[in-house]
Amino acid sequence: MGAAQSNEHGASSPEELSYMLAERFATKCFTPLELTHFKDNFFSRALEQGGLRHWNEKVLSDFLGIPDGIFTSSQEQPLDAGPVIFRMVSYLGAFPFQNTLAPSVLTFEAMVKVVVLLTDRYGKALKRGHKDRIKLLFGSLADVGRKTPAEANGECTTEDSEASAGNSHALGFSIDKPANDDYDEDEDDDLALAALDSLDAIEVFKHDHRVDKTVYETRISIDTFRRLVMLLLVIAPLKPLDSLKIYTSGLDVRRMESVKNEADSIIAAFSPEESDGGISYKSFARTISLSLPYLFDPLTALFEHLLFSKNLNLSQRRHKGLATETEPEESEENEEPPLQPAALTLPGSFESAILNPTVNSHLSFFLPSISPDINILRGGVKLHPVFSTNAHGSSLTYFSHHVLTWQSATLLILQGALVDSSSEELITLGAYIPQTWKTASSTSGSSSKTSDILPCLFQLSPKHLLLPGNPSPSAKKPNTPIAYFSPNTGIAIGCQIPAPSRTHQTYPTPHGAGSLIIDANIETAEFHAAPIGHDGAFLPASNTSPEDPPTKIKLDLYTLEIWGIVPDPEASSSAETNLGPVEIQRAKWEFEAREAERRRNINIKAGAGDSAAESARWLLEAAGIIGDESRYSGGRG
């Protein structure tokens, strides 16, 4: 009440207003049950110093399950993200007075704000959300010139704790002289002002300070960001009730090397300037918004752990006499984690030579599922094997049979090395294709259930690059399909298809900002990316500028894979057949296999000579019409 009264007279301190804002967040952003679980989790683990109950880094890391450190073979980069997460939380807990109160002691009120900001619940209390959340995330990571608070090691004294809770100027940030000339002056304090608007406290906030713009004029160090991105790659499939041990207990040196390499490819997308100390705010905001929109999604599931307490597991109903078990609940330390998390890919006729848990996590940072708001790991989507050069060879007939008959969206992914290069570095490219494929004889690719999702063309390594689909209707022309196939010219993504000629063979040509061409032998691939061009299927990548030269790389293609997008295969089924999309597709392949067998029996007639029969059979097998039935069924698991 005292804080409220002082606020009415315009005399509230930042500490009082911060406390009131936490109360507002708790009321608007959590259900009563969630708040009960939150309080139990916090206060059952809180430390107490001088009457102040708080968490330190160890308590936070232990509760979330963040490992202390797992090193790569070079011993250069451990998975040691605990200090990074703690620094982020200490900054966000001071919202919206980061300049005055950060780094914040992690009191219950501070943790309320942290969970609201990291679990996407801010939309219920703030007028603007996503754009300004990026500003907050950058500020929480910008550590160039930052002083390390004493409580980062859990060593704050009683006097330090009281000072932090009452007057945090002594523990504020010491920021280097602004060095980022790219800062946009229009990026003001809308988020903080909107948060305080309902508290009638804007004038107090403005008088105290504006949001610490010097934070956005610094940079995120590469080491800090790498540690965080490595953690995000490991825990990307995390669900709110999953134990982190499911994803961290099986890490070994080989997996960590893979995680580090993938993290470096992602960091390269931010155009870090090592000489200037790291990643600028402008580059961070642009890349997150346009190229890696789901990068921080794993933090949502991670911090939602605070909203479920095992001490209050109401499903057991122990206090209502309905429980059948009387044994005490197992502690988290004694739980046996599953051997491996649920796979993104479904069983089928081949196993991927490209996709693995780390690559799947990378894909989830930018690929949506059936909704633009949910990434591919959280929307119940699965990948069904459709075609692989490793399993089916380089025959475009096989490609045509498997891919052109798939009736939903597909993911194309390939690996290769630069032609005529001594480097053994693998380059990974891909495309998300929401429509069925177009052939030389068809007029258009039909829409699938995920056609509201835009296509994209991307590079995963050695540098993350995303060319988003062009939403403009003017880009959707009959001669510029997203995906095109011809047995004579090969596979074309985002190309312009010339009119057929009777005198000579015509070939697809690059068009717009991005395209991918694979030759008819599936031996080479050409990737084109331009910094300009808004008339094609794809738009320029966000981490390029109009002054950059166009990119053209030609690869010796090692592996090409096509994966079918299956929206929630367990939940979706046809009302007429009661079959899921995978069963329907397999039934279609099996029907075509029977039709091929019928045609074979017509062409290979009884009484024909053995040599003629064998010759005919060889021709049909080479054409992909007959052969191993599993190739037609797509695999039966």
pLDDT of residue 278: 87
pLDDT at 443 over 50: no
Q: Give the DSSP letter string of 274-342.
A: GGGTBEEHHHHHHHHHHT-TTTTHHHHHHHGGGG--GGG-GGG-GGGT--S--SPPPPGGG----SSPP
CB 413 within 8 A of CB 614: no
pLDDT of residue 613: 59
Q: Mind listing the pLDDT tens digit for each residue in 545-580?
A: 888 889 999 999 999 999 999 887 555 444 444 456
Least confident of 9-18, 115-124, 270-279, 496-505: 9-18
Least confident of 26-40, 46-60, 160-174, 303-317: 160-174
Segment 265-280 shows an average pLDDT of: 81
pLDDT of residue 113: 92
Q: Mind listing the pLDDT tens digit for each residue in 236-259?
A: 999 888 888 888 877 788 888 999
pLDDT of residue 261: 94
pLDDT of residue 474: 74
Top pLDDT among 541 and 212 is at 541
Top pLDDT among 91 and 248 is at 91
Split at pLDDT 50, 70, 90, the class of 501 is confident
CB 285 within 8 A of CB 295: no
Q: Which residue has the tokens 């009959």?
A: 478
Q: How many CB atoms lie within 10 A of CB 539?
A: 24
Paired tokens of 64: 């979330």
| CA–CA separation, 378 and 376 (whole Å) | 6
Q: Mind listing the pLDDT tens digit for each residue in 9-50?
A: 444 677 888 888 888 888 888 999 999 999 999 999 999 988
Top pLDDT among 218 and 554 is at 554
- What percentage of the chain has pLDDT greater than the value 70? 65
Segment 213-231 shows an average pLDDT of: 85
Strands 438-439, 483-486: pairing kind: parallel
298: Cβ contacts below 8 Å, ≥ 6 apart: 231, 232, 235, 236, 238
- What percentage of the chain has pLDDT greater than the value 90? 40
Q: What is the average pLDDT score of the chain?
A: 76
Least confident of 118-132, 156-170, 474-488, 500-514: 156-170
Top pLDDT among 297 and 603 is at 297
Q: Which residue has the tokens 């796979």?
A: 343
Split at pLDDT 50, 70, 90, the class of 337 is very low
Number of H-type helices and E-type strands within the chain:
23, 17
Q: Mind listing the pLDDT tens digit for each residue in 534-552?
A: 889 999 998 888 888 899 9
pLDDT of residue 166: 39
Segment 356-363 shows an average pLDDT of: 96
Q: What does each C-alpha distance from 57 to 54, 246, 343 come to in angstroms?
A: 10, 22, 32
pLDDT of residue 313: 65
Q: Mind listing the pLDDT tens digit for each residue in 382-425?
A: 999 999 999 999 988 889 888 988 888 999 999 999 998 888 89
